[in-house]
Amino acid sequence: MISRYQRPELKALWSDENKFKMFLKVELAASYAWMKKGLFDENTYEKLEKATFDVNQIYQIEEETKHDVIAFTRAVSTSLGDEKKWFHYGLTSTDVVDSAQSLILKDVNQLILEDIDRFMEVLKTHAFTFKKTPCIGRTHGIHAEITSFGLKFALWYQDFKRLKHQFIQAAENISVVKMSGAVGNFAGNHPDIQKIAAKRLGLKESRIATQTLQRDRHASYMSSLALMASELEKIAVEIRHLARTEVGEVSEYFSAYQKGSSAMPHKKNPISSENITGLSRVVRGYMLSSFENIALWHERDISHSSVERIILSDATSLVDYMLNRYARTLQDLVFFPEKMLENIGITQGVVFAQSILSHLIEKGMMREDAYDIIQRLSHQALREKTALKDLLATYEGLNPYLSEKDIEHLFSLEKHLIHVDYIFERVFGSHILS
């Protein structure tokens, strides 16, 4: 992952230094289990606990062995005495690699969960700030009806409640120790080694495996990351639309010395939202790669390994970066409620058409007749740039059904926000995920 899109916290967790620290932690957990099983005494284990490694030495040995785990075990062995014969005892390489990867992901996932919570807090704040701020709702990109601007953020908050729940489940499914040996049948050690080591590492143990953990776990995890990235893109696309010159309801914060274009000094572009849109495409691409990793030959081949060296660090780093960057972007977003009101009025009041239609039906008019009349008057209002309210007042056929007082009520903004409190209670007053 290039440094532009990786925060220092994630860079440290995915570093080779940390990977080998996790290798050593797994190895020592297995050694502890063997000590508990009576293979060697506590004094020997205490000597094993003093094992160290030098990353550069591992690199040097790997140049010869062409095998990173063997390079690691040999580098560690140089820091040990006779007890080194018990280091990596009964294990195959993937016992170490998959279990260590689970440890790394456990730390990564904790950071991502913190990212999610911070992001959701920004959404919640804006939802309540603009809870009763009227704006135009758009379907198919066309003005539809009045809605609450705060409902946009409430919707995204509810989306993230579901996504967080899914992420937690997916994260649990990859927080697993696997120490069942070369083909998964414990022939080279004992099931108790995995059980004891898993408890010591604070992870669950796999119930059954081949030489590897099964990669549907990781595909599900990558799907969860891709869903979050896609949700962020969903929000970003809406912000980009609202920031368009013709709409102008929001704008990304633009600092005093920031530049929008090398050619056009006036530009203030929604670059953060566009960045989120682009990065989400990358994360979804990594998800596809993770699905390709599910089918391995027999008890294991190595085709998934090179893929995961790239996609796990990159995808988690990108989602962490996206959540942090876009939380700041939304927190600093500039809002223009006066423009929201102005936009409500640019369609001559035709956005109140459904309310008028329902009123006419309630007053006794046949639905088809009422629909045709309101459609005709709405199109006339748009074509002639005449207020629908004025056309209604002068249309003779509506006099028995529509009084002046009715018209004023039907064209009120507040009428469209009467159930906002109910929706907010559903979203913020409970833990409902649906």
CA atoms of 49 and 37, how far apart (whole Å): 17
The pLDDT-based confidence of 226 (bands split at 50, 70, 90) is: very high
Strand ranges inside 301-397, DSSP E: 334-335
Q: Which of 101, 103, 78, 99 is nearest to 30 (CA)?
A: 99
Q: Give the C-alpha distances (Å, rounded to integers) separating 307 from 66, 211, 237, 312.
A: 18, 17, 30, 8
Catalytic residue (one of 261, 358, 403, 412): 261
Q: pLDDT per residue over 176-203, tens digit each? A: 999 999 999 999 999 999 999 999 999 9
Is the Cβ–Cβ distance between 355 and 415 less than 8 Å?
Answer: yes
The pLDDT-based confidence of 260 (bands split at 50, 70, 90) is: confident
User: Under 8 Å CB-to-CB from 127, ≥6 apart: which residues?
Assistant: 150, 151, 152, 153, 154, 157, 424, 427, 428
Q: pLDDT per residue over 353-412, tens digit each? A: 999 999 999 999 999 999 999 999 999 999 999 999 999 998 988 888 998 899 999 999
The pLDDT-based confidence of 132 (bands split at 50, 70, 90) is: very high
Give the residues across from 176 on adjacent strands: 204
Q: pLDDT per residue over 286-319, tens digit each? A: 999 999 999 999 999 999 999 999 999 999 999 9
Instruction: Assign 158 to helix, strand or coil.
Output: helix
Catalytic residue (one of 3, 140, 255, 419): 140
Phi and psi at 148, nearest 5°, equal -95, 130
Give the pLDDT score at 396.
Answer: 85
Q: Which of 273, 103, 73 is nearest to 175 (CA)?
A: 103
Is the Cβ–Cβ distance between 284 and 365 less than 8 Å?
Answer: no
Is the Cβ–Cβ distance between 27 and 76 less than 8 Å?
Answer: yes
Q: pLDDT per residue over 102-124, tens digit each? A: 999 999 999 999 999 999 999 99
pLDDT over 70 (residue 21): yes
Give the pLDDT score at 257.
Answer: 73
CA atoms of 130 and 185, how far apart (whole Å): 59
pLDDT over 70 (residue 2): yes
Give the pLDDT score at 346.
Answer: 95
Give the pLDDT score at 434.
Answer: 60
* The amino acid at 26: V
Could you say which DSSP state residue 7 is in?
-
Residue 136, Cβ neighbours under 10 Å: how many?
Answer: 22
Domains and CATH numbers, the chain: 3-12+93-188+200-337 (1.20.200.10), 350-410 (1.10.40.30)
Break the chain down into helix, strand, coil percent, rounded to 5. 65, 5, 30
Active site residue 67: no
Percent of the chain with pLDDT over 70: 98
Q: pLDDT per residue over 157-168, tens digit each? A: 999 999 999 999
Active site residue 143: no
Give the pLDDT score at 431.
Answer: 63
Mean model confidence pLDDT for the chain: 95
CA atoms of 39 and 346, how far apart (whole Å): 82
pLDDT over 90 (residue 268): no
- The helix (run of H) or strand (run of E) holding residue 229 is helix 216-242
Tokens read off for 240: 């980009």
Q: Give the C-alpha distances (Å, rounded to integers) separating 240 from 40, 149, 235, 270.
A: 64, 15, 9, 6
Between 41-50, 86-95, 116-125, 395-404, the lowest mean confidence (pLDDT) is in 395-404
- Residue-wise burial string across 324-343, b where 16 or more C-beta atoms lie within 10 A, e elsewhere: bbbbebbeebebbeebbeeb
pLDDT over 80 (residue 39): yes
- Residue-wise burial string across 410-419, b where 16 or more C-beta atoms lie within 10 A, e elsewhere: bbeeeebbee
* The amino acid at 27: E
pLDDT over 80 (residue 256): no
The pLDDT-based confidence of 258 (bands split at 50, 70, 90) is: confident
Could you say which DSSP state residue 430 is in?
S
pTM of the predicted structure, to 2 decimals = 0.94
